[in-house]
Amino acid sequence: MSAVRTVLGDVPAEQLGMCDAHDHLFFGSPRLPGQELRDVSAARAELAAFRALGGAAVVQWTPYGLGRRAADLPPLSRDTGVHVVAATGLHQAVHYDEETLGGLRGRLAEVFVAELTDGIGASGVRAGLVKVAGGFHALDAHARWTMTAAAEAHHATGAPIAVHLELGTAALDVLDLLCGELGVPPHRVVLGHLNRSPDPVVHRQAARAGCYLAFDGPSRAHHATDWRMPDAVRALAEAGFGDRLLLGGDTTTAAARSVNGGPGMPYLLRRVAPRLAVELGEDLVGRVLTENPRRAFAANWR
Ligand SMILES: [Zn+2]
Q: What confidence tier does 226 reach under pLDDT thresholds 50, 70, 90?
A: confident
Q: What is the pLDDT of residues 42-95, one digit of tens each?
A: 999 999 999 999 999 999 999 999 999 999 999 999 999 999 999 999 999 999
CA 193 to centroid of ligand 1, rounded, Å: 8
Q: Are strands 57-60 and 9-12 parallel, antiparallel or unpaired?
A: unpaired
- What are the Cα distances from residue 147, in Å, to 24, 60, 125, 141, 152? 21, 19, 23, 10, 8
pLDDT at 53 (0 to 100) = 98
| Alpha carbon distance, N-terminus to C-terminus of the chain | 10
CA 252 to centroid of ligand 1, rounded, Å: 6
pLDDT at 220 (0 to 100) = 76
CA 43 to centroid of ligand 1, rounded, Å: 15
CA 248 to centroid of ligand 1, rounded, Å: 9
CA 302 to CA 298: how far, in whole Å? 12
Asked if residue 221 has pLDDT above 80, the reply is no
What H or E segment, with its residue span, contains residue 129? strand 129-133
CA 174 to centroid of ligand 1, rounded, Å: 17
What H or E segment, with its residue span, contains residue 96? none
Q: What is the pLDDT of residues 22-49, one digit of tens each?
A: 999 999 988 888 889 999 999 999 999 9
CA 207 to CA 128: how far, in whole Å? 23
C-alpha count within 13 angstroms, C-beta hemisphere, residue 187: 10
CA 90 to centroid of ligand 1, rounded, Å: 12
CA 91 to CA 142: how far, in whole Å? 9
**Is 0.95 topped by the overall pTM?**
yes
Sign of CA dihedral 86, 255, 218, 170: negative
CA 46 to centroid of ligand 1, rounded, Å: 16
105 phi/psi in degrees, rounded to 5: -60, 135
CA 28 to centroid of ligand 1, rounded, Å: 11
Asked if residue 113 has pLDDT above 80, the reply is yes
Whether 114 contacts 156, CB under 8 Å? no
What H or E segment, with its residue span, contains residue 152? helix 141-157
* List of domains in the chain: 3-297 (3.20.20.140)
CA 23 to centroid of ligand 1, rounded, Å: 6
Q: Are strands 3-6 and 9-12 parallel, antiparallel or unpaired?
A: antiparallel
CA 61 to centroid of ligand 1, rounded, Å: 6
CA 54 to centroid of ligand 1, rounded, Å: 22
CA 251 to centroid of ligand 1, rounded, Å: 7
CA 216 to centroid of ligand 1, rounded, Å: 8
- 213 forms beta bridges with 191, 245
CA 62 to CA 212: how far, in whole Å? 19
